[in-house]
Amino acid sequence: MEKKTILTGIRPTGHLHIGHYFGASRNWVKLQDKFDTYIEIADVQALTDNFNNPDKVRKSVQDLVIDLLSVGVDPNKATIFLQSTIPEIAELTVFYSNLVTIARLERNPTVKTEIKQKKELFGEKGESITYGFLGYPVSQAADITAFKGNLVPVGDDQLPLLEQCREIVRKFNSIYGKTLVEPEAYLSEIPRIKGLDGNEKMGKSLGNAIFLADDEETVRKKIMDAVTDPNKIKIDDKANPDVCMVYYYHKLIKNENLETVCKECKSGKRGCVACKKELVTKMLEFLKPIAEKRKYYENHPEEVKEILKEGSKKAKKVAEKTLKEVKEKMKINYFD
């Protein structure tokens, strides 16, 4: 039986944090053994939001590839590629843009939330909403369909984008004949990791994340500042671990003393400072193998570049094939 294709993407706008790790990239490492796996560094999509900050996107590409390799994405199994090196994706985006109404894009819940956030940041003028930004779901549909992705591992915030992609596929196939594959979401067991501040989501820009690339001192500082049960004031107060972020991370990284941590917290036998110190030790142990791999790749930037270049070359061949089929079906294959 033919292997199914997995396609996922990530915007290069900063380093990966442990929320990305537990919610996403850890799964990609597992999936790469079973599926034909493509991981897109979505620099063109990152630019829809950061067109005035090309340096940030440029630097993040390299950082992100190193992050992915450090957590165990294996370039011999998975294809890591750069969106901007595949013009076929941009061409597909143009063709698909006829199949989507502006009203439909404006109704997309993910886009709606992002527009709302932008308005909060930049005011009501709405000038921050570009044609490119509004259309990024179309471009994301091109990312997925260029590789005939069957499964798309994403967080639940991405489901509306996937639904939009499926609509585009159905419309394309009904007008031009069956060509594209309708993808399905592949949700991870832990869709979302909470932040150090207790926020429901750990986010790059929320200042509540532990990054895989953080050094020891930074990890220590962040954990020592993490939110614990606000009702515990004195060292021997009894506390509720279920509202404590320190306990939450003990659990997340599978501290083998978890039961003791829980019992001592509930009975008032354990102070928060000691509990945090234990978490620092465990977290650093957890991050150590990742940090070691990172060091290797940081010292071998040419190798990292080569991996991305080779992956992009391989991905381009696949996208070329899809584009050829699409153009045939659309009757714009004049000179073939």
Q: Which residues here bind ligand TRP, judged by CB under 6 A? A: 7-11, 40, 42, 45, 140, 143-144, 152, 154, 158
The residues pairing with 81 across neighbouring beta strands, listed in sequence order, are: 40
Which lies closer to ligand TRP via its Cβ, residue 154 or residue 307?
154
Which lies closer to ligand TRP via its Cβ, residue 80 or residue 154?
154
Which lies closer to ligand TRP via its Cβ, residue 24 or residue 245?
24
Which strand ranges, in their side-by-side order, compose the sheet holding 78-82? 78-82, 36-41, 5-10, 151-154, 184-187
Which lies closer to ligand TRP via its Cβ, residue 18 or residue 226?
18
| Smallest separation, CB 168 to ligand TRP (Å) | 13
Which residue has tokens 């930004």? 133
Which lies closer to ligand TRP via its Cβ, residue 7 or residue 180?
7
Torsional class of 5: left (φ above 0), alpha (ψ -120 to 50), beta (otherwise): beta
Beta carbons within 8 Å of 223's beta carbon, 6+ residues apart: 196, 210, 246, 249, 276, 279, 280, 283
Residue nearest to ligand TRP (CB): 9
Alpha helices, H only, 14-130 = 18-20, 26-31, 43-50, 54-71, 87-96, 102-107, 109-122
And the tokens for 176? 């031009």
| Smallest separation, CB 213 to ligand TRP (Å) | 19
| CA atoms of 182 and 149, how far apart (whole Å) | 8
Which lies closer to ligand TRP via its Cβ, residue 67 or residue 229?
67
**Angle CA 253–256–257, to nearest 5:** 110
Which lies closer to ligand TRP via its Cβ, residue 145 or residue 255?
145
| Smallest separation, CB 83 to ligand TRP (Å) | 7
Residue 33 has a CB neighbour count (10 Å cut-off) of: 10
DSSP per residue, 75-103: TTTEEEEEGGG-HHHHHHHHHHGGGS-HH
| Smallest separation, CB 153 to ligand TRP (Å) | 8
| Smallest separation, CB 92 to ligand TRP (Å) | 13
Q: Shortest CA distance to 8 belongs to which of 32, 18, 22?
A: 32
| CA atoms of 132 and 32, how far apart (whole Å) | 32
Which lies closer to ligand TRP via its Cβ, residue 95 or residue 186?
186
And the tokens for 271? 């102070």
Which lies closer to ligand TRP via its Cβ, residue 7 or residue 318?
7
Which residue has tokens 């750069």? 82
- 329 φ, ψ (degrees, to nearest 5): -65, -35
- 39 φ, ψ (degrees, to nearest 5): -120, 115
